[in-house]
Amino acid sequence: MIMQTPPVLQPEDLDILTVFADTEDRHQLLPYLDPIALEPDEVLIQEGTEGDEMYFILRGQAQICRAGLQLGSIAAGYHVGELGLITGRVRRASVKAVTDLFTARLTRESFSRLKSEKPALALKLTEILISLLGLQLTDMTDSFGRLSQERSLPRRLNVTIQIAGQPHPFEVPTGTQAQTLLPKEVDGCPVVAALVNHKCVSLNTPMMSDAYLEPLTVAHWEGERIFRHSAALLLLEAAHRLYPGIKLSMALSVGSTQWIRVENSPTESTVVLAQAIQGMMEEMIRQKKSFRHEWWALEEAIPFFSENDRREAAALAQTYRNSRISLVSCGEFYAVSSGPLLPHAGYLRKIHVQAGSQGGLILTTSSEGPSADDLASYAHLMQDNIRWLESMKIASIGEFNRACINGEVSQLIRVAEGFHEKRISQIADRIGEEREQIRIICIAGPSSSGKTTFIKRLSVQLQVNGLRPLNISLDDYYVNREETPLDQNGEYDYECLEALNTDLLSEHLSRLLAGEEVATAHYDFPKGLSMPEGGPRLKLGSDNILLLEGIHGLNPKLLKNQVPEDQLFRIFIQPMASLSLDEHSRVNPSDLRLLRRIVRDRHSRATNAADSILRWPSVREGEHKHIFPFVSQADLIFDTSLIYELSVLKVYAERYLLEVPHDHPAYATAYRLQKLIGLFVALYPDHVPPTSILREFIGNSGFDY
């Protein structure tokens, strides 16, 4: 705070203070006041700092702001900071001089002296302040009623809450925040959000009606997502504070590791940039900076984002269906809301920013997950996809929607499918160039990646190059059911490596490579029986190549060094590139895979969306154990995502997600996915070609499965 040398206070200076009807009272107060003078733009009160004094405005005008939002103006005759005088609480708003400002300050020390020396005047001042605070509270509630159009106001003073695991419901005052009713931790995991009637909300959400309440921790994938999104927003705010012109964008995420694209960096060293941002984030964590949600009219949001060169967010707002859009912030940087966040930055522990490959940054939110080195191959592929999307001028949901509205759907689909076909052709060409060396292609990827269709299309391209592929599925090499290891829940663990008869597999592959004809294995799933020679008889000729598909295809222990490395070619496939909402969030590839699975299982396997969602955590757990740790073993990574697929999946998934009951444990995820696909323009599948990977999930594929 920079202040002028203040003039001496005169009795007539206090005549403007109409809160004191008696002139004598004003004159008696004069010796307890300090004159304070400020120039325009100087700060009288700073938000977030502690203060135990109040100010009477004697001349000039000041502006009140909170979190960068202008709340109003005050002029001569007004007073501010009375709560600081009474309670010494942290300031909740800033007061900045608009013109030359002359004030009189009453400190808590002076107020204590006033109470001792002139108790009647101190009591009168206290009564006046309490009365004025009461009037302000009344005005505030009246304004809230008008803004809420009355009907949104609570109907009752109390609501009934049933907390999960407790025997009886109980009543709490309407408006009680969820976090005050829930524990800080569950089984050692921090609670990061609440489930209110199975819908995920922020912990500071007020309880406005009867509800069933549950804690949500980072152990749950929805809680983990909230933690990661909060950390990402904090990083963007920290970068904005340090370098207002920089542009950071959340790109690829794998587990708890987030790759961040950097543009307009003020420094050539990403190490220096990472250290500066890390330092600012740690300071904001110490300050427990609040995360807040705000509703903006589209007429406000669109020009705001456009004027600040926020192209993706502006495009999304322009194609938004509602008249208002939810934004989130923890300071001055605003992002489009993609769901609940933490109450404040103090919850964010063990987050780390470091330099990554391709001139980017890496944000990690736990000690688990791939290293920066492991992420390098992902990042390289992501850069290729970003360049391709930008060449089409479509990198975000809003830009994609605008292209659909402009009638460019057919061309978008043709180009996206052409990109896939070109990449598969390049893979086949690379294998063909090493046909004398490569004899076995191992293919692995997480659930709903499109492995089956990828293998079909790769087989076609290999045949174009004069190779005849033969197929073996690792699923046919399961041991007998009673020999299958059990997981921690006492159920058969078909996803662990020990569930496979790797000795038999190694023997069969060795004999095939030696030129023998081999009766391959087959597994009878209904009976749970292994048939070591129950499969087709295969023989590798000079023009044959073996395609080996399964969850452990990248694991070096699978073949126990029985097959020479130079005869193996490993491919990892997964949808990775995705459209962004804005710089803060983009479609998570895991959500895309889950939507693929929901659509496929609902219409082809009679499995409802709720069951698919409940099974998903165990599916992901298996992937993180048995697939992702070995991605670095892959010779090549293929991205199966399609720029347009969520618009097509929406046609099916919207109804399937609505089938999930509101009181079902899967509802939190179903509700979030409904909101996600709601951002997209719907596209009917007429233009999706029969050989598309998407057909594996929506049906009517040109391939036989």
Q: What is the pLDDT of residue 369?
A: 54
Instruction: Tell me the CATH number at 15.
Output: 2.60.120.10
> What does the alpha-carbon distance between residue 254 and residue 369 come to, in Å, rounded to a whole number?
7
Residues 6+ apart with CB under 8 A from 21: none
Q: Is 69 within a domain?
A: yes
If asked whether residues 368 and 487 sit together in one domain, one would say no
The amino acid at residue 575 is: P
Is the alpha carbon torsion for 333, 334, 336, 339 positive or negative?
Answer: positive
If asked whether residues 605 and 487 sit together in one domain, one would say yes
Q: What is the pLDDT of residue 699?
A: 93
Q: What is the pLDDT of residue 151?
A: 47
Q: Is 13 within a domain?
A: yes
What is the average pLDDT across 81-105?
Answer: 85
If asked whether residues 606 and 459 sit together in one domain, one would say yes
If asked whether residues 470 and 611 sit together in one domain, one would say yes
Q: What is the pLDDT of residue 642?
A: 95
Q: What is the pLDDT of residue 382?
A: 62
Q: Give SS3 for 655.
A: helix
Q: Which of 314, 339, 372 finishes a domain?
A: 372
Q: Is the pLDDT of residue 377 over 70?
A: no
Q: What is the pLDDT of residue 82?
A: 83
Kind of pairing, strands 522-524 and 544-549?
Answer: unpaired
Q: Are 118 and 63 in contact (CB under 8 A)?
A: no
Of residues 462 and 68, the one with the higher pLDDT is 462
If asked whether residues 437 and 521 sit together in one domain, one would say yes
Q: Which of 309, 338, 372 finishes a domain?
A: 372
Instruction: Tell me the CATH number at 345.
Output: 3.30.980.10
Q: Strands (DSSP E) along 125-169, which ranges?
A: 158-163
Q: Return the minimum-mean-pLDDT range out of 8-12, 129-133, 301-305, 451-455.
A: 129-133
For 590-632, what is each residue's pLDDT tens digit?
999 999 999 999 988 789 999 999 999 988 888 888 998 898 8
Q: Return the minimum-mean-pLDDT range out of 139-153, 306-320, 631-645.
A: 139-153
Q: Is 214 within a domain?
A: no
pTM of the model: 0.79
- Residue 258 banded pLDDT, cuts 50, 70, 90: confident
Q: What is the pLDDT of residue 481?
A: 92
Q: Is 137 within a domain?
A: yes
Q: Is 299 within a domain?
A: no
Q: Is 634 within a domain?
A: yes
Q: Is 493 within a domain?
A: yes
Q: What is the pLDDT of residue 137?
A: 54
Structure tokens at 521: 């294995």
Q: Are 235 and 353 in contact (CB under 8 A)?
A: yes
If asked whether residues 246 and 368 sit together in one domain, one would say yes
For 443-463, what is each residue's pLDDT tens digit?
999 999 999 999 999 999 999
How many residues in the chain?
705
> What does the alpha-carbon distance between residue 616 and residue 595 come to, in Å, rounded to a whole number?
11
If asked whether residues 366 and 399 sit together in one domain, one would say no
Q: What is the pLDDT of residue 629?
A: 87
If asked whether residues 398 and 368 sit together in one domain, one would say no
What is the average pLDDT across 573-578?
Answer: 89
- Residue 93 banded pLDDT, cuts 50, 70, 90: confident
How many structural domains does the chain have? 3
If asked whether residues 19 and 59 sit together in one domain, one would say yes
The amino acid at residue 608 is: N
For 523-566, what is each residue's pLDDT tens digit?
998 899 999 999 999 999 999 999 999 989 999 999 877 788 89
Q: What is the pLDDT of residue 467?
A: 96
Run of H or E including 501: none
If asked whether residues 504 and 419 sit together in one domain, one would say yes
Provide the residue range defining the domain that includes 661. 392-698
Q: Which of 147, 182, 208 finishes a domain?
A: 147
Q: What is the pLDDT of residue 448?
A: 94
Q: Are 568 and 442 in contact (CB under 8 A)?
A: yes
Crossing angle of helices 667-677 and 645-658, rounded to 10°? 140
- Residue 144 banded pLDDT, cuts 50, 70, 90: very low
If asked whether residues 413 and 497 sit together in one domain, one would say yes
Q: Is the pLDDT of residue 152 over 90?
A: no
Q: Return the minimum-mean-pLDDT range out of 355-359, 364-368, 453-457, 610-614.
A: 364-368
For 291-304, what is each residue's pLDDT tens digit?
999 999 999 999 99
If asked whether residues 346 and 397 sit together in one domain, one would say no
Q: Is the pLDDT of residue 112 over 50?
A: yes
Of residues 358 and 482, the one with the higher pLDDT is 482
For 405-414, what is each residue's pLDDT tens digit?
999 989 999 9
Q: Is 497 within a domain?
A: yes
